[in-house]
Structures are given as C-alpha cells and as structure tokens.
Structure 1
Amino acid sequence: MSHSSSLLYSLLAASIAVGAAYLFYLAVLEPAWNPLRKLPGPPTRSLFGNHMGMVLDPSRSPRIHEAFVKHYGRNVRIRGFLPWDQRLFTLDPVSLAHILKHSTIYEKPWQSRALIGGLIGIGMLAAEGQVHKRQRRVGTPAFSIQNMRALVPVTFQKAMELKERWLALIADAQHAPDGERSKGGARLDVCHWVSRATFDVIGLAGFDYQFNAIHDESNELFMAYKEMFEIAVSQQGGGLWELVIVYAPFLDRFAPGQRYTVVKKSQAVIKRVAGRLIQEKKRKIEEAEKAGTTYGGKDLLSALLRSNAAADLPPDQRISDEDILNNINTFMFAGSDTSSLSVTWILYLLSVYPEVQDRLRAELLSIAPTAPLESLAQDEIASLYAKIAELPYLENVVRETLRLIPPVHSSIRVATKDDVIPTSTPVKMQNKYGEYEEVNSFVMPKGSCVHVPIEAFNLDREVWGPDGWAFKPERWDNLPEAVKAQPGLYNNILTFSAGPRSCIGVKFSIIEIKMFMFVLVTNFKFAPCDKVGKANVVLTRPYVMGKHKEGSQCPLLVTPYVQEAQA
C-alpha cells in the first residue's frame, strides 16, 4: 500500500473515530450532564424515543399535558426528536413569563429560523436580536390603532364579497339533482373560502394590492403565495426527509424535490411583483414630499415606508428594501392563515352549538343598520365597526374560540446562555444522591430548548376550572381568579404570545375576525355536516375525520338567514 493511500485510510479512520466519539458524547454523556436531567419527566422507551408526537398532536395533547402536571409538576423534562435533545416543558406561569420576557436570552432555534427564513425571508418572525428590534421599531407605527381603523372598510368590503359569493354558490346548489340539494343551503368548505377572503384582505391591507381571490384564483402573486404556503407548510408530511432538510437545508439543492422547486419559483414571482410594488410606493411617497404633502396610502406597506423614512429615525435604525419585502411576506403568511383559521373555527363551533349561534346573531342584528349594508359609506362602516367592537357576547365568543383552539398550538425557544428560571410552585429536582428535593428555581443550560405549550396554558383546568376544555363563551363574564396570573398579550391567553415577541398584528386580527363574524352570521345559518377534527400542521387546521389525505377542510351546511318581519 502506498504512503498516500495509508495516510488517506488513517485520516478516514480518525474522522470516523472522532465522529463516533462526538455522537457518543451527544447521545450519552451530554444528556447525562445536562442540568435538565434533574427535572422530573416521562421516560423514553428507546434510544431514539421522544415525546414530541404526544405533546404536538391536538387530538391527545390536552390529556398528555394534564397528565404531566399530575405526575411531574409544572416544570417537566421531555425529549425532543434526537437523543441529546433534552427540553423544558413548562406550564408554570412564572417560569413562562420569565422566558417570554427575556427574548434576548430565549430565541427561536436556528432550525426554526432557517425554515421560516428560507420560506419568507428574515422578517419579524425569523429575525432575532438587533435586527428584530429594528424591524419591530419601524413596524410598530404601522400597526397603530389609528392605522388599523383605516383598514376597517377593506375588511368590510371583502366580507361582503364573500357573502355574495356564498349566496351565488347556494343558489347554484338549488339547481343540483334532488339527491344533492341541502334544504335551501349548500355544503361549503368554509376553511377554503375564508382563506381566500383573508388573502384578499391582507393583499389590500398589506400593500394595496387586489388579489381578487374570492372570485378567481388565477392572480400570479396570489398563486405564488398560495402554492408556497401549501407545499411548504400545510402539506408538510413531518417525515424523516423534512427533519433532515431542517438540519441540512443544503441537501434540498442537491436533491430538489417538489417543495424546493415550488418555493424557488414562488419566491421569484414574489420578489418581482412585490418588489415592484415597493418601488412604486417609494416613488409616490417621494413625489408627495416634493409637492409638500404626505402620501395618504393606508396600507401597511405605505405605513412601513413612511415610518422607515421618518425624520426622527436615525439612519442606522432604518431597514432595507429587502427587510421591507420580508416583512410584507411575513404579514401575508402570519396575517392570512391565522385569521382565516380563527374565523373557520368560530363558524365550526357555532354550527356545533346552535344556541350560541342564535344568541350571537341576535346581538349582532341588534346593532345592524336599517339601510342595506351595500349602501354604507366609509364613515358609516367605521361607525358600525365601533359598535361591533363593543358587543360583549361577540367578544366572549371570539375570546373563547381563541382560547380553546389557538391557531399556533405550541412554540419553541432555545437558551442562548445559561439562565436561572424562577417558579411559582416548588420543583422536585434530583440531587447527586438520586434523591428529590424541592427548589424554587432551576438552571436552564445554554443550547437547551423550551417547549412553549400555548394550547396547554389556554386549556389548563386547574386555572380555567373543571369545564376548561368546554366551549363556554359565558365563562368570560366571571373568570376564576387564577386566570389573572396567566401570561398573555390578549386576555390572559397565550394565543398571541407575550413579551417583546408577541404578535404585532393582534388589533388587526381582532378587527378582521369581528367584521367577518358580523357579515356572515347576520346573513347565514351554519350547521355541521361532517365530523371535523384538529391536526397540527404548522398551525391547528381542521380536517374531515378519516379524510386527512384530502387536506385541510371544514365543510358546513350554510343556509341563507332570512330575518323574520317584526309583528
């Protein structure tokens, strides 16, 4: 054997030995030395056994979460997808408030950021540190209550268009063969239709762009977003290849599958069309400045560009055109899917609880204007929404649905340095002698992840009462005292998260949900027609039981509501 071959074999053997030693360290030594090992937690059955399936599946996660608290307490050690992936699972309000408040210590893991960034760029969802701080500072004025109110007519217009589309579909259904008719109504996949409507809303509200998705799905930019989100998000299989791609995204380029091809094609369209929109807006703003006026665009893109060009913003705090585009993509992704799912779940729950539906409709009709909705001027629409926003039972129904079925089931954070986490109740930690002792804080080691169980906080029966898993809008009139200690940006629920990384678009989301509720519930009655279940595919989506392969859908029997004439 030649000297060079011998050297090559030696290097190869050394590399294998180093790799094997590193894997041994990761799989055996690192977990044994990880301070989280001292926390109580459920066992794993094998080297590659993990707890992610049970905590991420909404069909069983409420029972699992409750069992964790009963057997192990409110701070629990669980295992992630790999043997060395020890995670903290916390249902302790003090511990979680600490984690969400200290967003510079607890960041999104690089895997999550790579996945989001590879899809929609480094916008507010994927950015960390100073980049996120800069983007948030520029973005916050765009989401002021004044700007949000200016978007009310846009939401109203699209809700009305959806109403007309549904009436046309129901009229068509009445001409179907006898066996397919539905007593004056039609079987409509409300998930599909509401998703198209919210895309239209965020198109106009986001950058003054008309997707026209309610009427037609052929718009180039709409198709780019739709295909990208569907292939890369809602059709994710969650299989081994998807996991490998997260850890080694470069493999996607060497063996490009359908996902990679669709995402690249969609991103090229978005960059071209949305990039042109950004340049047009900038030109209009500059022309208005030269003329001594202010460009009056009410969309988020205009507000972002105005905020970014503000005289009192130091040049080093401004964000680039690429950042602007990434954040528009982020609003498209976070703003359309989450709102459409919230509206869909409310309509589904109203179909299952007809007495709630009747009571809500009566409240909504009590403030309905006498003039036809189609004839309302912009100031009248604004005045109508001011009344809608104040309706107590509608508020209860919205809160209760967002509590019961948060679109984001759970989240994840990673500790960027060692930290000490406080607790509300003592935690049993194992000492070096194998005995358990109670402590009021514990060490969170750098590099370990926190599983943030959003749904679990919202459903915790020790906090919300024995009926915490039930849909009861009236609970909000008399909440248990323990609820007030729960962290959360919105009404002590975690649906919109909490702390510096909480949802920037919460006001817009609530406006959109309530406006759609007003138009749809005063014009239609909803009844169930298939057994619908929940599945966690990036977001909590509805699926017809036994038909998961057909994709996310929520079919309901939708019938026009005809108000009885007053005697």
Structure 2
Amino acid sequence: MAPQLAHELRSATVVLWSPVGIAISAVVVAAAIFLLQKPHYPSFVNLPGPKPSHLLWGSSLEVIKGVVGGKHTEWFERYGKNVRYTAFCTTQALITSDLTLINHVLKNGYDFAKPRVPARVLNNLLGKGLITAEGAVHRRQRRVLNPAFGPAQIKNLMPEFWNKAYVLDEVWGALIASGGKAQGTDGLKIETLRWFNRFALDVLGTAGMNVELGSMRNVDNELARAYKAMATQDPQITPWIMIEMMFPILRWIPTKRQTVMRTNLAIAKKNSARLLRDKKAAIAKEAAAPAASDADERDLLSLLVRANTSPDVPADQRLTDAEVLAQVGTFLVAGHETTSTTLAFLLERLALNPDVQDKLYAELAAVPDDRPTYDQLSALPYLENCVREVLRLDSPVIAISRVPVEDATLPVGNPVPGRDGKLVDSIQLRKGTQIFMAISHVNASTDLWGPDANKFNPDRHDAGPADKVPGVYGNILSFYGGVRNCIGYRFAVTEMKAAIFVLVRHYRFETLPSQPKMRRRWLFVQRPAVEGEDDVGPQMPLMVRLRHEQ
C-alpha cells in the first residue's frame, strides 16, 4: 500500500510541475480570482481602455512585448491619461499619466502600498528594508536613515566618488593603450555598462560600507562576485517570470536564473551579516574608548549603525539587525543597478549628440581642479542639465505600482469621456486595485516639455516644464516624490556627476561603426541590450577615444 501511495504522489507531482499542470493550475486560480473579486465602482468601470487580448493574460502580454513603455504610450494617445485595462487573471488595473492623480498618490504615500506580488519579490531579494516597508515601519526606518543621506554626509563622501571615478579612468586608459594601439588607433570598443556596474559596486563598497570590493581591478572578492553574477541575469520580463511572481512556489523550480539568484543572494546575505557584525563591534569599541579611537568612518553603514544606536532614538524606534541588513541589500542592489544603467544611457546620448558632448566637455575642461568640491560640482549648470535630461528620458525605473490600502477616491486633472460618454471627473477604486503610474511617459510628456519632448536637449532644463512635477529632483519623477521619494537621490546624482566629469574630460564617445541596433529590456529596471544578442545580456558597447584636447 505504501509503495503504491508513494508512486501516486510522485505521479501527481510530475503532473503538477508539468507545463500542462501549471497551466491548469493558473486557469483554476484565475477563475477563483475572478469569482472572488468585488464589483468595481462605476467611475472606474467607465474609464476607457483596451479590450483584453488574452483570456488568462488580459493585456499584460502586449505590455511586456515590443518597445519598453510603447504600449503605454499607445494607450494614452488613444484613450487619455487614465486608462483601465485587464491584467493577469482578469484583474482590473489603472494605468495613469495624470499629474493630479499621481501627485495625490505620492503625497498620501502611506494610503497606497506596493502591490502584493512585486512587494513579495522585492522582499525576497532585499529583505524588509526601506523599499519594501510600509506605513509606520517605513516611517520609522526613514527617520533612522535620513541623517546618513543629507547634503553634509554626501559632501563627506566626495573622496570616495573621485577615487573610484579615477580608477575607472585608469582602467579604460590602460585598455585603450593596449587594445587601441595594437589596432593603430586611439580608440577602442568598450562595453560601458559592464564597467559602470563595477564602478557603482565599488563606490557602494567604500562609500556604503567602507569595504574595498575591487571589482574594477578584477580583485577576487566574494561579495562583488555575487552581485556581478546577479547583474548579468537577463532583465527582460517574460510570461514565465510573471507566473513565478504570481505563484511563489514556482521559484523553487531550479531554472538557471533562479539557481544563480538564490546562490548569490545567499552569499551576499552572509557577507553583509559579517560586515554588520564587524561594524557594530568597531562602533561599540569606539564608544567604550573614544579617546583611543582613530576611526573616521563616513560610510553609510557606519552612519546608519551610529544613528540607530543614538540615545536620541527610542529603543522601540530602532532598526533590528534584519532591518539594517535589508538596508545594505537595498544600497547594493537598488543603488548600483540604477546608477550604472543611467551612466550607460548618458554616454549613449552623448555619442548620439556630439554637439551636446562638445558643450559639456567645454564646461568640464574649464574647471581648474581635477577633484572639485561637492559645491563646485553642483554648480556646473550644463552637467546638471545633462544628468536631469538623461534621467528624464532614460529613467531606470519606468513606472511605479501602488494599491490603495482602503477604498479610495482619486482626483483627475481633466475630466474625460467614459465608455458611456459621461465625463469621469474622479475615480473610485476598490482596496487593492493596482495603480500603474507611468514615470517614463510623464517625464517625456509633450504637455510638460513641448513638441520636442522626446528629443535629448539638456538646455530645456534652464526653463523647466510647463507645470510643476511632484518629483523630489529636477521636475522629473525618476526619483519619485512624496513620503516615499528615493532617499539616496543626492548620493546617486553626485556619484554620476563625478564619473561623467572625469570620463568626458579624458575621452570622446562615439557610436560603433557597425551601428548595432540598441533596444531596452525591462524587469524592475530597464537596461540596454543589442538587438539579436540576447545571449550576451544587458550591454552598452561604444567607441571610446582618448581626447587630444587635454
């Protein structure tokens, strides 16, 4: 009897994990979700939008296929700034580029939470840190973290930004000296995204944790190796990834991607825990004998541990070790992916717009100091405009998803005709209805930036947009806004400026003679890729030439 039962269980397991079994399970779950949904409010049902193109997927497959953000733009042009569409398993969602509505959601940030599925995925990746925390927990974490990210603290980190920028400069110079001269030229094809990943990781090593990761110099560091392995995973969202996110048990199927992520996340967490133990011990020793201590650690982790143990912070408001470790994961994952991608996109924009590159070079070359202060770097207007413009057009995060924690009424900027012809002047949503705020579309809105909004033009930031954007930086939404704005935006902007300052003064950037077709790939962060080279993964190859004007 027992052998027969075991055989039946094995057979059932094989069927369950087969593609047919998974498909049947998905359909059953979809039917259950459909039957359990509460009726939506008429104002939401009345919103215009596309008909679902698939029984199970709704319109989701249209969104993830083709140009990143392309389907969103098509819908906005056809239906207006507030669109209702059918997502996975018949669920109804709102996608919006309405500034009035977006401002309301951002300003009342604690009334709107991350949707359950992406929140769970991010929690598995980062832990219960600032990105995944909600409500009172987020407020408490933010209160402890804020002191580490103020202007004074970023000023103190300038030496780390400059040190790493000049390491990257040295490495690229050596590559050109060997590879370029061997070909009888002063330039070389360099895959810039890979190097920016290493640069950003090394910056976060020293500025974030006071640890030399050495990834730009190919030092064999276990933590750096783990994050480099995760960064090379295909960032393209696929139907299978969407199913994995909906059904967490599927993450245990040993696909190549899951195996790489699980193995290297474990390595990263182990190393982060060791770093935290060492940091706490060093700070405790310093507190016990301050006169004997010569510690001058200005890294983010040291500042965080000190702030967390400050007598000004009540015991019940302090972060647990698990929460501190989650912040380390957030620094490393969210901090280095977004920065490296933005830097790669900026070099591409400069290569495609040589007049912009020349103007930027002229401004940077006129600075007499090789390592200007934070205030001097911040006072360079065209550099500031270039950073704002690449973040406007190439925001690493193209959208923010939120759900109301209770039934909510959302204001709209301009009433629009609904499906029945009546004007929709506000939208009532059920608790848990997904709101998809299209950052990239708002950033490139012709209503805000005029008919040439899709053109890379740093000068446009001298005048600013036609209407105020509720973002924390530069009249764009790339760093969000409201109570959940990106706490590290000053760190990221300053780090990027330091890298561009050094590289543009020393090199000229051009597109490759082969003119590869570039495309965008998107999961949580959009990254560049070459058409037809999916096996290579994310990349931004450019021709990098030594400047002779130096």
| Number of aligned residues | 519
Deviation at 1:66, TM superposition (A): 4.3
Aligned to 2:247: 248
2:538 paired with 1:552: yes
Aligned to 1:501: 484
Q: For 1:140 and 1:429, locate their aligned partners in 2 and report how far apart those are by CA, in whole Å.
A: 43
Structure 1 SS opposite 2:266: helix
Structure 2 SS opposite 1:330: helix
**Distance verdict in 2 for CA 1:121–1:315, change over 3 Å:** same
Structure 1 SS opposite 2:229: helix
Aligned to 1:192: 194
Aligned to 1:270: 268
Deviation at 1:512, TM superposition (A): 0.4
2:385 paired with 1:386: no
Mapped contact 2:41–2:428 kept (Cα < 8 A): no
Aligned to 1:50: 58
Mapped contact 2:519–2:530 kept (Cα < 8 A): yes
Q: For 1:149 and 1:556, locate their aligned partners in 2 and report how far apart those are by CA, in whole Å.
A: 31
2:144 pairs with one of 138, 161, 167: 138
Structure 2 SS opposite 1:395: helix
Deviates further, 40-49 or 94-103: 40-49
The one-letter code matched in structure 1 to 2:541 is P
Deviates further, 148-157 or 37-46: 37-46
Structure 1 SS opposite 2:195: helix
Q: For 1:114 and 1:40, locate their aligned partners in 2 and report how far apart those are by CA, in whole Å.
A: 30
Superposed CA offset, 1:484-510 (max 9, x none)? 2x2211122110011111100000011
Q: For 2:189 and 2:472, locate their aligned partners in 1 and report how far apart those are by CA, in whole Å.
A: 36
Q: For 1:559 and 1:58, locate their aligned partners in 2 and report how far apart those are by CA, in whole Å.
A: 33
Unmatched tracts of structure 2, length 5 or more: 1-25
Aligned to 1:279: 277
Deviation at 1:32, TM superposition (A): 6.2
Normalised by the size of structure 1, how large is the TM-score? 0.86
Superposed CA offset, 1:306-351 (max 9, x none)? 1101111111000111111111110101111111111111111101
2:442 pairs with one of 448, 457, 463: 457
Mapped contact 1:182–1:557 kept (Cα < 8 A): no
Q: For 2:353 and 2:191, locate their aligned partners in 1 and report how far apart those are by CA, in whole Å.
A: 18
Superposed CA offset, 1:157-215 (max 9, x none)? 01101111001100111353xxxx37311000011111111110011111001110001
Deviation at 1:535, TM superposition (A): 2.1
Mapped contact 2:40–2:430 kept (Cα < 8 A): no
Q: For 1:280 and 1:29, locate their aligned partners in 2 and report how far apart those are by CA, in whole Å.
A: 50
Aligned to 1:408: 397
Mapped contact 1:211–1:221 kept (Cα < 8 A): yes
**Distance verdict in 2 for CA 1:221–1:29, change over 3 Å:** closer
In the TM superposition, what are the counterparts of 1:477-516 in structure 2 within 5 Å? 477-482=462-467, 484=468, 486-516=469-499
Mapped contact 1:37–1:77 kept (Cα < 8 A): yes
Aligned to 1:114: 120
Deviation at 1:55, TM superposition (A): 4.2
2:16 paired with 1:27: no
User: Percent of aligned positions with the same letter in both sequences?
Assistant: 34
Aligned to 1:69: 76
Aligned to 2:229: 227
Larger radius of gyration: 1
Superposed CA offset, 1:202-240 (max 9, x none)? 111110011100010521111122223434xxx255334
The one-letter code matched in structure 2 to 1:310 is S
Unmatched tracts of structure 1, length 5 or more: 1-18, 374-380
**Distance verdict in 2 for CA 1:192–1:70, change over 3 Å:** closer
Q: For 2:547 and 2:29, locate their aligned partners in 1 and report how far apart those are by CA, in whole Å.
A: 66
2:388 pairs with one of 389, 399, 424: 399
Superposed CA offset, 1:531-558 (max 9, x none)? 3222223212111222233211111111
Q: For 2:38 and 2:54, locate their aligned partners in 1 and report how far apart those are by CA, in whole Å.
A: 14
Aligned to 2:409: 420
**Distance verdict in 2 for CA 1:358–1:53, change over 3 Å:** farther
**Distance verdict in 2 for CA 1:239–1:478, change over 3 Å:** closer
In the TM superposition, what are the counterparts of 1:269-348 in structure 2 within 5 Å? 269-292=267-290, 296-348=296-348
Structure 1 SS opposite 2:232: helix
Deviation at 1:28, TM superposition (A): 6.8
Q: For 1:238 and 1:67, locate their aligned partners in 2 and report how far apart those are by CA, in whole Å.
A: 19
Q: For 2:537 and 2:285, locate their aligned partners in 1 and report how far apart those are by CA, in whole Å.
A: 47
Normalised by the size of structure 2, how large is the TM-score? 0.89
Structure 1 SS opposite 2:89: coil
The one-letter code matched in structure 1 to 2:505 is T
Structure 1 SS opposite 2:110: coil
Q: For 1:21 and 1:155, locate their aligned partners in 2 and report how far apart those are by CA, in whole Å.
A: 53
Aligned to 2:522: 536
Superposed CA offset, 1:274-331 (max 9, x none)? 2121111112211221224585310000000011011111110001111111111101
Aligned to 1:562: 548
**Distance verdict in 2 for CA 1:473–1:493, change over 3 Å:** same
Mapped contact 1:427–1:441 kept (Cα < 8 A): no
Mapped contact 1:57–1:536 kept (Cα < 8 A): no
Mapped contact 1:56–1:410 kept (Cα < 8 A): no
Q: For 2:525 and 2:29, locate their aligned partners in 1 and report how far apart those are by CA, in whole Å.
A: 35
Q: For 1:190 and 1:448, locate their aligned partners in 2 and report how far apart those are by CA, in whole Å.
A: 40
Q: CA RMSD in A?
A: 2.3
